[in-house]
């Protein structure tokens, strides 16, 4: 009987392992592995950067801001409403800024603005004059900015929602110095005037033509209610008072939007994001991830997709003897368009 024979299989002596063959990668494979490594580092670096940046935001605890309206996630395409408040806190002003800001203790709501984002369509900015006559829950009739003094952000949110019928989903607050720092972080903003202008009260001044203003002058411009221009050899009041002032505030926000979305400002973004986070106070529900989603949506738009207006008002005097402004015809239509996310009526 014939027996099949097979080649003997070599055995490995105890304690020894056969030498391993090193895997050789082609140039293309090495390049792909390099890209994957860079991508992995980028992911973890981005997570760390986002966490670090978000940690800079000063948060208002949910129990201290209960009047906000719950919101459907942005992914569902629902509009998002912000109450943006600029306070006149002087305590944080840099030492090298001029003395035109005055000396006032405490903090008041100097800017009250509603911002509405309709994903993929438009951004709407609506200013509420700080002297608007309103009914403040628990405090009777007063100017709208008094709500902040009486009860802080929560009472202001409650008052604005009650008076306008606009649901507020998020709250963002910034003071004079904070706004100036954010403007500086994007390299300033470009402004242009046909004549030299000044405001002796706010400290703003600029020559005729195009120029770039930094944070201190941007704050002075946003505060200006007594703007003058040099025409025919003499200074003339430009008028408008507080209403013109709210227009300047929105103008600066739009100019900053242009700066942030401009390709030439890409190198400013690493400075802008942490500076912005460090200078704002916001509700706990506004995460940096949500802000990033909103930012990506905003980047798909251009400044001509931003509509801005001040609530139309007229001067009046209350029974308490205070000077107020109150809504006029057309105010309700403007508010209804804002709530619905429709273009502002003309």
Task: Single out the residue of 124, 123, 142 nearest to residue 132, CA to CA.
Answer: 142
pLDDT at 40 over 60: no
pLDDT band (50, 70, 90) for residue 4? very low
Closest CA to 272 of 215, 204, 210: 215
Residue 72 has pLDDT above 70, yes or no: no
Mean pLDDT of the chain: 80
Average of pLDDT values for 9-37? Answer: 52
Say what the pLDDT of residue 110 is: 86
Which runs of E-coded beta strand occur in the chain? 58-60, 80-87, 109-118, 122-127, 133-136, 140-143, 170-175, 189-193, 197-199, 204-206, 209-213, 228-231, 234-237, 281-283, 306-310, 313-317, 323-327
pLDDT, greater one: 244 or 263:
244
> Could you give the C-alpha distances from 212 to 188, 193, 202, 246, 251, in angstroms and in order?
6, 11, 18, 20, 14
Distances (CA, A) of 27 to 21, 23, 41: 19, 13, 21
- Over range 238-243, report the average pLDDT: 88
Rounded-to-integer distance, Cα 343 and Cα 341, Å: 7
Q: Indicate yes or no: pTM above 0.85.
A: no
Helix or strand (DSSP H, E) at 304 = none
Q: How many whole angstroms separate alpha carbon 210 and alpha carbon 213?
A: 10
Task: Please state, in angstroms and rounded to a whole number, the distance separating the CA atoms of residues 172 and 159.
Answer: 16
Tokens of 279: 């200078």
Q: Give the pLDDT confidence of 94-114 residue by residue, as tens digits.
A: 666 666 555 665 678 889 999
312/333 Cα distance (integer angstroms)? 10
Per-domain boundaries in the chain: 54-194+240-340
Q: Cα(292)–Cα(50) distance, rounded to whole angstroms?
A: 10
Q: In the predicted model, what is the mean pLDDT of residues 168-194? A: 91
Going from the C-alpha of 177 to that of each of 218, 219, 303, the distances in angstroms are 10, 8, 25
Task: Give the integer Cα–Cα distance in Å for 198 and 205.
Answer: 4
Task: Categorize the per-residue pLDDT at 303 as very low, low, confident or very high, splitting at 50, 70 and 90.
Answer: low
| Nearest one of 257, 67, 95 to 169, comparing CA atoms | 67
User: pLDDT at position 121, please?
Assistant: 77
313/329 Cα distance (integer angstroms): 8
Q: Which residues touch 302 (CB under 8 Å, ≥6 apart)?
A: 261
Of the pLDDT bands very low, low, confident and very high (cuts 50, 70, 90), residue 42 is very low
What's the pLDDT tens digit per position in 188-211?
A: 999 999 999 999 888 899 999 999
Least confident segment among 18-22, 87-91, 283-287: 18-22
Least confident of 35-39, 124-128, 205-209, 321-325: 35-39
- CATH number for the domain running over 54-194+240-340: 3.40.630.190
Query: Is the predicted pLDDT of residue 165 greater than 50, yes or no?
Result: yes
Inform me whether the pLDDT recorded for 7 exceeds 50: no
Please state whether beta strands 306-310 and 228-231 pair in parallel, antiparallel, or not at all (unpaired): unpaired
How far is the C-alpha of 196 from the C-alpha of 324, rounded, in Å? 32
pLDDT at 44 over 90: no
- pLDDT bin (cut points 50, 70, 90) of residue 265 is low
pLDDT band at 306 (very low <50, low <70, confident <90, very high): confident
């Amino acid at each position: 009987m014939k027996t099949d024979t097979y080649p003997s299989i070599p055995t490995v002596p105890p304690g020894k392992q056969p030498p391993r063959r090193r895997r050789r990668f082609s140039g293309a494979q090495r390049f792909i592995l390099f890209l994957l490594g860079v991508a992995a580092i980028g992911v973890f670096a981005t997570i760390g950067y986002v966490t670090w940046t978000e940690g800079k935001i000063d948060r208002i605890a949910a129990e201290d801001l209960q009047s906000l309206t719950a919101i459907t996630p942005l992914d569902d395409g629902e509009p998002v409403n912000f109450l943006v408040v600029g306070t006149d806190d002087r305590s944080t002003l840099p030492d090298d800024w001029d003395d035109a800001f005055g000396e006032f203790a405490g903090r008041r709501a100097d800017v009250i603005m509603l911002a509405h984002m309709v994903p993929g369509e438009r951004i709407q900015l609506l200013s509420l004059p700080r002297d608007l006559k309103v009914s403040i829950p628990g405090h009777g009739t007063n100017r709208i900015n008094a709500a902040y003094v009486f009860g802080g952000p929560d009472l202001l949110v409650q008052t604005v929602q009650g008076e306008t019928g606009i649901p507020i989903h998020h709250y963002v607050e910034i003071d004079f110095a904070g706004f100036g720092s954010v403007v500086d972080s994007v390299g300033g903003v470009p402004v242009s005037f046909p004549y030299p202008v000044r405001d002796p009260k706010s400290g703003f001044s600029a020559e005729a033509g195009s120029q770039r203003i930094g944070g201190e002058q941007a704050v002075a411009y946003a505060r200006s209610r007594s703007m003058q221009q040099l025409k025919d050899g003499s200074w003339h009041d430009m008028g408008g008072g507080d209403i013109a002032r709210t227009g300047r505030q929105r103008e600066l926000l739009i100019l900053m939007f242009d700066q942030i979305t401009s390709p030439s400002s890409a190198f400013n973004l690493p400075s802008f994001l942490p500076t912005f986070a460090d200078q704002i106070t916001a509700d706990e529900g506004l995460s940096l991830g949500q802000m990033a989603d909103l930012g990506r949506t905003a980047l798909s738009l251009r400044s001509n997709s931003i509509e801005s207006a001040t609530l139309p008002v007229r001067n009046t005097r209350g029974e308490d003897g205070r000077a107020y402004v109150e809504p006029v015809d057309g105010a309700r239509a403007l508010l209804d368009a804002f709530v619905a996310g429709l273009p502002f009526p003309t």
